[in-house]
Amino acid sequence: MRFSKLVLYFLILFNFSLSKLALSAGKAIEYPDKNWSFSSIFGTFDKASAQRGFQVYKEVCAGCHGMRLISYRNLAALGYNQDELKAIASQFEITDGPNDDGEFFTRPGRPSDKFASPYPNKKAAIAANGGAYPPDLSLIIKARSNGANYLHALLSGYVEPPKDMKVPEGMYYNKFYSGNLIAMPQPLYEDGIEYLDGTKASPDQMAIDVTTFLAWASEPELEERKKLGVTVILFLIVFSILSYFTMRQIWAPIKNKN
């Protein structure tokens, strides 16, 4: 069996197992591919976009959606310095305690705090949203198949429903949502927020920015991972080549005898 053949078989098997999983998602709705800055092998997060995305999250999404796995200190990865982090954290009220008197109290946030939750608990979140729990966004990009394109499409998918469709009270039509009826009202409107860096806040721009921010939140290790990956793969390729020729050298007497 020639080695090239083996590699071919291996790759076929490997690819097959992967494509199978992709298929297992079922008849998925097609989302426009946005070519994210972070999706290629050398991809990194567009930090300016992620910072704007954080602003979108803070001013729009955070009304209903928590991000319980993220701390304010983590935002340093988006390019904020320590003073900025302290300033950002202190904008939020954090419930702490119990103190020495056994009382819970609120205080301004610190960088070490996790993002303040919009609701005191899950039940309160469900009650405030007509029975639908607004999912936590810490991992949302990893928790959805084709997550970044999905989220961007979802945020841009609020269009007029087809004439023959009756949209029930408290539900909204979204062409990219499975079943087309979503409990989340359209969150992004033209100039819904005013970007600190002066970028024009079109709904598409905001959708792109907040997706970039949430992609970072889902995979904060992505840049380090890909950078290390390139080094490791290059090393292994060189190592493979060297070990191949060493092997040829060692095997030469055996091969020549035959």
Partner 1 sequence: MSKPKFKNPVVNWIDYRLPIFTFMNHELNEYPTPKNLNYFWNFGSLAGITLVIMIVTGIVLSMNYTAHIDYAFDSVERIMRDVNHGWLLRYIHMNGASFFFIVVYIHIFRGLYYGSYKAPREILWILGVLILLLMMATAFMGYVLPWGQMSFWGATVITNLFSAIPLVGESIVTWLWGGFSVDNPTLNRFFSLHFVLPFVIVGVVILHLVALHRFGSNNPIGIDVKGKQDTIPFHPYYTIKDLFGLSVFATIFAAAVFFFPNFMGHPDNYIPANPMVTPAHIVPEWYFLPFYAILRAIPDKLGGVLFMFGAIMVLFVLPWLDRSSVRSSQFRPLYKLFFWFLVIDCIALGYLGAMPAEGIYVVLSRLATAYYFFHFLIILPLLPKIESTRPLPVSISTPIITASSNASTVMAMREKK
SS3 at position 71: strand
Rounded Cα gap, residues 217 and 187, in angstroms: 20
Q: Is 17 in the site for partner 1 (CB under 8 A)?
A: yes
Strands (E), the chain: 93-96, 105-108, 172-173, 181-182
Region binding partner 1 by CB under 8 A among candidate stretches 95-103, 168-176, 200-208, 229-237: 229-237
Residue from 18, 92, 200, 213 touching partner 1 (CB under 8 A): that is 18
Q: Which stretch binds partner 1 (CB under 8 A): 80-88, 97-105, 158-166, 236-244?
A: 236-244
Q: Count of CB atoms within 10 A of residue 115's CB?
A: 26
Q: Is 10 in the site for partner 1 (CB under 8 A)?
A: yes
Q: Which is nearer to partner 1, 159 or 230 (CB)?
A: 230
When asked if residue 127 is in the footprint of partner 1 (CB under 8 A), the reply is no
CA nearest neighbour of 134 among 197, 182, 175: 182
Q: Which of 124, 128, 167, 236 binds partner 1 (CB under 8 A)?
A: 236
In sequence order, what are the residues at sequence separation of 6 or more whose Cβ sits closer than 8 angstroms to the Cβ of residue 54? Answer: 75, 78, 213
Using CB under 8 A, which of 74, 149, 174, 211 touches partner 1?
A: 74
Residue 93 · residue 106 · CB < 8 Å: yes
Q: Which residues are CB-neighbours of 168 under 8 A, at least 6 positions away?
A: 181
86 belongs to the binding site for partner 1 (CB under 8 A): no
> In the set 47, 58, 110, 144, which binds partner 1 (CB under 8 A)?
144
SS3 content of the chain, % helix, strand, coil (to 5): 45, 5, 45
- If one asks whether residue 29 binds partner 1 (CB under 8 A), the answer comes out as no
Distance CA 82, CA 63 (A): 25
Q: Record the tokens describing residue 86, joined without a space.
A: 């302290």
Taking CB under 8 A as the criterion, the residue among 60, 94, 116, 139 binding partner 1 is 139
Among 118, 135, 192, 203, binds partner 1 (CB under 8 A): 135
The length of the chain is 258
Compose the 191-220 pattern: x for residues touching partner 1 by CB under 8 A, - for all others: ---------------------------x-x
- Please report, as ranges, the residues that interact with partner 1 according to CB under 8 A: 1, 3, 6-7, 9-10, 13-14, 16-18, 20-21, 23-24, 26, 41, 69, 74, 135, 138-139, 142-145, 147, 218, 220-221, 225-226, 228-230, 232-233, 236-237, 239-240, 243-244, 246-247, 250-251, 254, 258
